[in-house]
Amino acid sequence: MISFHVFQIGLLVLLVCAVMAPLPGCWRICQRAGWPGWMSLLIVIPVVNAIAVFWLTRSRPNQISAMLRRTVDANPAIHFPVHH
């Protein structure tokens, strides 16, 4: 039987892996939204993560992202059927 100390270290390693796994995805989401990628580190702090997610979802994208969205041409390879 393993000691309790080894079990605690195993749980700590599992917790760290569970917290660090979504960081690359959150980093990319922050960058695409026009925010610096380091803001994704806010999801690690318990109360700040809820505030940060609310703040990021309610904020406006930067002007460059908005300009790029307006200048993108429609893709002719994608066809959406119209039902009347």
pLDDT in tens, 18-74: 888 888 888 888 788 777 888 888 888 888 888 877 877 776 655 545 555 555 556
| CA 64/CA 81 separation, integer angstroms | 32
The per-residue pLDDT for 13 is: 92
The per-residue pLDDT for 76 is: 66
| CA 56/CA 61 separation, integer angstroms | 9
For 15, the 3-state DSSP assignment is: helix
Q: Is 34 left (phi over 0), alpha (psi -120 to 50) or beta?
A: left
- Number of C-beta neighbours around residue 29 at 10 A: 15
